Structure 1
Amino acid sequence: MVASSLNMHDLWTLRGVGHPADLLPIVLGCDAAGYDEDGTEVIVHPVIGDPDAGRGDETLDPNRALLSERHDGAFAEYLTVPSRNLVPKPAWLSFQEAACLPVAWTTAYRMLFTQARVSAGDRVLVQGAGGGVASAAIKLAVAAGAVVYATSRSADKRAEALSWGVRAAVPSGERLPDKVDVVIETVGEATWSHSLRSLRPGGTVVIAGATSGMNPPADLGRVFYLQQRILGSTGCTRSELVGLLRVLEATGVRPVIDRVLPLTEIHKGFQLMIDGALTGKLVLDHMEENR
């Protein structure tokens, strides 16, 4: 291991959400970049599953698991994964940048391009501009030629989103200049009604998380009357990680890194995440103490 990064998944596991006690203790950490046993620089695809069981998509395998759910994760010196989960790291990508990709950036990639099929000129709303998935979705959608809007309760995070190329960044819940074709939703309960109100008839909400709560108001009348579509999205395939790397090479887009901490300061990193003090990803350097 050379570098990893924090995800909300790690924090939820620490809180006891979705992780059975009989699988404890377990090493956390979903994002991993380092060297394989032959010394090759690699990124770890974090979904451990069988594509055949998911009709060609390992995220649909009923027995799939994200790294750290059934297998020890990345917050360690060494990591064991199936060889299929190793993807060569391009030389133009640093280990710190690579450690941001496996969960947050591939989740955003799948939401935008596999599920919503966003193309140039589409109008896209990204809720919660400061998060890892949200920052990735903004940068990828802008690079694809979409008209992007973002929301955040933080003026600083709205300003940061504007620097990434969004058309407008508004306080959470505020009306947008236009109805949008696609909403990228990871906040959940706090933003759900706003997401549906912001969507044009026939538009699509793609949801991959609910950090503010899992039980939003359904508003089913709006959904069926305006023929809105709600799509779930979880993880990514290995081929989507490879596709993301091609996009980054072609566009020059790189992950947003808030800060880098040595692995020994991981508890400080979790506190920053709990406090909502991050914009983009917090990366852990596993080699710092050896330098």
Structure 2
Amino acid sequence: MTTSSKMSSLPECFDYDSDKLRAELTSHGFAPGPITVTTKKVYLKKLYQLKRHAPVVAINPVVQKKVFSLELEKTLRDPKWTLDLASFKSLEEVVTKDFAKPEPSRKWREGINKTSFTYLLLDPRISDNLPCRSDLLEPKDVWKIFLSSIFYVGKGKRSRPYSHLYEAVGLWRQGKLDSDSKKLKTILDIWRDDLGVVCLHIFQNTIPVEAYTREAAMISALKLENLTNMKAGEFYGTASTWTQKQKKLLGVLLLYKAKDIFLSEGERQLYPQDIK
């Protein structure tokens, strides 16, 4: 395949319904004819080309106004920060080693079975299928959009992978579309907009205290005020003795890894009917 054909090929995830496709083409200054089953792919390719060559890609206002921790904000200002990840990785290595072989005789919160994971809840109204359009954006904008789309950081366990959505779906099935809980309200609002919540499971097969530590680090980096979490997380092991800066730097690395997982796996949305 030639370079030009690669550039013009249409990603499988790049899709719009006919009305949205027409609106998008029009907003880019192109007036489409009838959009039918036979012409839709042609117009999708045209839109993709227009987006690739657009001088500026609009950024959601929500993305623009969020301000994260100093450590995380520095990565948004300096695109070369990823060239030196050694100091970040050394922090994660400490956490990993701390909990790799937990001493059974010690009392560990929720035990030592490696069935826990950390998860992020993302708002698709902000991410807007980021994995599919990431090549149309500057890397710093991809990073900022990903961070801004996160509205909750949590710890889960394998036996109940969607326990964090059960309460919301219970309200939904009762016809209750509002809640005093910011987390539940955000989930319900997403469903009400006919979209699904994006639930990204990361850092799996850990004991509970490691999952809690990773959760706490990411909350610290993002800042609690940018999330719907009720409280900051808890650190365990060596990480509990670290400075606030070290804790946030760990969070930065974990979020960066989560971003790469998200871009690789794609945006998979969970609707009320998916929660059993």
TM over 0.5: no
Look at both structures and tell me which one has the larger radius of gyration over its CA atoms. 2
Q: Which structure: greater helix fraction?
A: 2
